[in-house]
Structure formats: structure tokens, C-alpha cells
Amino acid sequence: MGVDIASFIHEYFIRPMIDSSVPGYNMINTLTYGAILMGAAFYVIYPFLKKKEMRFDWEFLKTLLPYILFGISLRVLEDLKILARSPSPLDPGFYIFTPGIWILTFILVMIGMFIGKWIEKKTKYSAPTAMFYFGILISAPLLLFHILNAIEWGGVIAVVGIAGVICTIVFFLAKKVNWDFLDTPLAKAAFLGQVLDTSATFVALEFFQCGEQHVLPRLLFGAFGNISFFFIKIPLVLLILYWLHKEYQKEDPHLHGFILLFLAILGLATGGRDALTVWMGTCSP
């Protein structure tokens, strides 16, 4: 019996975008989006930025922070029912959900880079500074809207507080036992991003009526409870950071920096989105 391609695409890709009764992610679209994201990041974006002699460090991540804020702020507009999802790239609703939101944010980053280069040639301002302020310009209205309409201050304080306590303890221990894989600001940011994601997910599920969209966490929480995320993800992230430092820090520092940047962005984007969802009260009891 042949596979009905149209039905397959609708069930695993289109329906999760338009039907709120099913999780946004399943095993098929998770693997597909993951492969596309990894392929684009390491075979398109990394070579392009390396050719442009971009330094993958904490300073570059700071330049990208407003664009991350833009992406998560736009994403939460769908949770608030202000914008509706759409499977069509010709519809604005396509760009508030994976994969469209990643595409839109990347396009804006590229625009910011070109604007930054142009301003650097015309004025005394550096390209990263101009790029940063362009990101502030596009993200500020959305962020201001969320600040003015936020209702669950206790929830977001809990998210930030838990993440802050964990990072403080780990960074203190790292200094005491000389974990050199956490020496750099970018490595710390990568760890912080992943811890923020863990903390936001825990608070959203444990104290609010949020639902987990991703496949593996759903299976994990169903088997071991929400708090298990801390005991599995944090040691795993530390092991990954240790391995990356050991394998790439000296052999290929550019790739090492890019991977740390990639981990930081993923954590800050997903964790920030969850924290903002809690803050806006879209899944309050």
C-alpha cells in the first residue's frame, strides 16, 4: 500500500500548526525541523559567518540578544490569541511558529548585519553596535507590550530565581574545582540558557496549566515527573560542555565558539519563550 504523501504531511506537519488539540511537535516534525536547523546552522550559517571573519564569542551573543527577544516576544502573541498560526509562508501567521519564526528571526539578523556594516562605513559607530540597536528597535515595542500586560510576576520571578540559584551554585563549584570548560562568558551563557529552559519548563508545568509541546520531555515527565528535568538535563549539559571543550577548544576554536553560541541561543529562545508565556498568564490556573 502506497503512502499518501498529502495526508502524511497534513498529519505530522500542518495539523500541529493549526489544531490546538494536538501537541505542536511529534517525532516526525521534531526530527525534520531538527535536521533542517542543524543543517542550516552548521553547513550554511557557520561557513558564511566564518568567511566574514565573525568572532563567535560573548560579544556577538550580546549583539544577538535583542533578536532573540524579538523572536520569543512574537511567538507569545500566538499564545495570547492575538495572531493565529498558518501553514502558508504567504501568511503572517506562518512566522509565529516553528519553523517560520526561526526563518523570520534569521532574516532580521541578516538585515541587522547589513545595516550595521552600512552604518559603520558612514558613521563613527561600529557594525555590532548598530546591529544591536537595530535589534532593540524592532524588539522594544513587542517587549513593552508584554511588560505592560504581564500578570504572573510571581511565576517569572520563580523561573529566574531557580535558574539564578542553580547557575550560582554551579559556577561557584566550577571555580573551586577548576572546571575550565566553564571559564568563558560564552560557555556560562550556554549553560545559563539551558538552565533557564529547564527552570521555565518546570515552573510552567508544575505550578501552571501549561502543556509540554516537545516529544522527549513529554515522555520523560510522564515517566519520572516534572522535576526529573533538572536531574537529567543539567548533568547532560555539563557533560556536553566538557566534551566540546576537550575536543574542539584547541583543535577548532571557531567551531567550538559557534557550538556554544548555538546552545546559548537555543536555551535562551526556548527558555525565554516559556518564561514569557508564564509571565503573560496564558496558562494560569
pLDDT at 208 over 60: yes
> Average pLDDT, stretch 259-277?
94
pLDDT at 206 over 80: yes
Query: What are the tens digits of pLDDT across the range 42-55?
Result: 999 999 888 888 88
Least trusted range by pLDDT, from 57-61, 122-126, 159-163, 226-230: 226-230
> Average pLDDT, stretch 138-148?
95
Query: What are the tens digits of pLDDT across the range 183-195?
Result: 999 999 999 999 9
CA 239, 245, 248, 251 torsion: positive or negative? negative
Find, among 154, 152, 144, 161, the residue nearest to 66 by Cα.
144
Alpha-carbon span 183 to 57, nearest angstrom: 13
pLDDT at 73 over 50: yes
Query: How much is the pLDDT for 79?
Result: 80
3-state helix, strand, coil in the chain (%, to 5): 80, 0, 20
Query: Residue 16: which pLDDT band, with cuts at 50, 70 and 90?
Result: confident
Neighbouring C-beta atoms of residue 239, cutoff 10 Å: 11
**Top mean-pLDDT range of 23-37, 223-237, 263-277:** 263-277
Query: How much is the pLDDT for 147?
Result: 93
Pair 271, 197: CB distance under 8 Å: yes
Query: How much is the pLDDT for 212?
Result: 65
Angle between helices 253-280 and 228-248 (to 10 degrees): 160
Query: How much is the pLDDT for 83?
Result: 81
Query: How much is the pLDDT for 1?
Result: 46
